[in-house]
Amino acid sequence: MKILHVVASYKPAYIYGGPIMSVAMLCENLVKAGHEVQVYTTTANGLAELDIPTGQPVDVDGVPVTYFARITKDHSHFSPALFKAVYRDAKKFDLVHIHAWWNLAVVMAGLAAISKKVPLLISPRGTLSAYSFQNKNKVIKSLMHRISMPFLKRSHFHVTSVHEMEAVEALVKGKSITSLPNFVKLPPLKINNNENTRHGPFKLLFFSRIEEKKGLDILIAALNLVTFPYHLTIAGSGNDDYINRIKTQAVNRGINHKITWVGFVNEGKFDLLRQHDLFVLPSYDENFGNAVIESLSTGTAVLISRGVGLAGYIAENRLGWVCDNNETSVAAHINKIIGNEAAALDRIRKNAPEIIYQHFEGEALVKKYTDMYQQIITS
């Protein structure tokens, strides 16, 4: 198959977090499986631009990626050159797969694919949800949604969880919708022993992009209600104004001395995850949650909110705990885990890595993606 992937940003723009890695791993695995894959993207790298050649394919870990300059430096990622290239080349491919929504790079690419009568697959990656509508730029999003509805109805959708499927179907009925998990980079499989190695304050970890929907404010508020000794490590980058607001919140609550900020972590992230007792992600809305899988792959248990797409998976496989996204529920769960769940933490430490490898190993997952593509193309 010949597949064109269009995404507003691509490696090495790691500033955008998990979706960058998921899309890249999907493309890399498709190439390894023998499919012809190309990626069209922009030079977006936050407020800056990637220092990389534009308008010509660049080999990025085996995938031919063409970067196009963008005009806007915000999340609209407007790139006339990318739109022209998709419009020109769409019919060379069996399918166009666009990732995310609410930015002009992918919206216009989708419009180009539909106008050329090429099957279009949209992976919203959390952007088509009631929370996304209400969070920012509500009026603009509502207008864009109404304008784009005719071609959304002619598109196919890929979601990463039942939670996201329900959110998308509440907003639009496309030609089909398929749920397949993200590709997640995993460390070498290591089976941990079942010995309790915890000592000193209980080590909590928040490991994510630092933005409002991740619920870090909920976690900070909850810590005032935790009755056991703890220390929280916060790993990630984000908007400086929001980070400063969270730091002020911690100071006002008198817990800033129990928090360590380590910034963005990439190369050593699995060591960081392995060194903690519990990963906490109380997101308001999360279509999947790559870091949840990464944490479990090292044996570190998770506490996540019901708003995280993986909540059902975690509960079903007994790999952690699911809470409501409010400070009382988060604190109650942390107190219970520290006080009464040592055996569960040890069981997860020992068993989780192998379970994660069984469910998220790349070769089996890429076949599910290619089956989905084939069904769309032949339909």
Residues above pLDDT 70, as percent of the chain: 97
- Tell me the per-residue pLDDT of 183-236, one tens digit each, with 9 for 90 and over: 998 898 887 765 556 778 999 999 999 999 999 999 999 999 999 999 999 999
Confirm whether 169 is domain-assigned: yes
Q: Are residues 40 and 101 in the same domain?
A: yes
Confirm whether 345 is domain-assigned: yes
| Residue 85: closest CA among 49, 44, 57, 123 | 57
Tokens of 33: 């499986």
Q: Are residues 120 and 217 in the same domain?
A: no
Supply the pLDDT for residue 149.
84
Residues above pLDDT 90, as percent of the chain: 76
Supply the pLDDT for residue 331.
98
Confirm whether 186 is domain-assigned: no
Q: Are residues 239 and 304 in the same domain?
A: yes
Q: Are residues 127 and 37 in the same domain?
A: yes
Q: Are residues 166 and 226 in the same domain?
A: no
What distance in Å separates the CA atoms of residue 214 and residue 227, rounded to the nearest whole number? Answer: 24
Q: Are residues 175 and 269 in the same domain?
A: no
Confirm whether 365 is domain-assigned: no
**CATH code for position 108:** 3.40.50.2000
Of the ranges 96-100, 127-131, 177-181, which one carries the lowest mean pLDDT score? 127-131
What distance in Å separates the CA atoms of residue 352 and residue 191, rounded to the nearest whole number? Answer: 9
Average pLDDT, the chain: 92
Q: Are residues 142 and 255 in the same domain?
A: no
Supply the pLDDT for residue 349.
95
Q: How confident is the model at residue 120 (pLDDT cuts 50, 70, 90)?
A: very high
- Tell me the per-residue pLDDT of 69-96, one tens digit each, with 9 for 90 and over: 999 887 789 999 999 999 999 999 999 9
Confirm whether 187 is domain-assigned: no
Confirm whether 136 is domain-assigned: yes
Answer yes or no: is pLDDT of 310 > 60.
Answer: yes
Confirm whether 134 is domain-assigned: yes
Q: Give the DSSP H or E segment for 312.
A: helix 311-317
What distance in Å separates the CA atoms of residue 201 and residue 335, rounded to the nearest whole number? Answer: 13
HSE of 346, CA atoms in CB hemisphere, 13 A: 10
Average pLDDT over residues 88-116: 94
Domains contained in the chain, number = 2
Q: Are residues 6 and 151 in the same domain?
A: yes
Q: How confident is the model at residue 103 (pLDDT cuts 50, 70, 90)?
A: confident
Q: How confident is the model at residue 147 (pLDDT cuts 50, 70, 90)?
A: confident
Supply the pLDDT for residue 185.
86
The SS3 call for residue 278 is strand
Q: Are residues 160 and 292 in the same domain?
A: no
Supply the pLDDT for residue 197.
63
Q: Are residues 20 and 142 in the same domain?
A: yes
Which residue range forms the structural domain that includes residue 159? 2-179
Tokens of 19: 């979706």
Q: Are residues 6 and 50 in the same domain?
A: yes
Query: How far from 235 is each of 11, 16, 17, 356, CA to CA, in Å?
Result: 20, 14, 12, 22
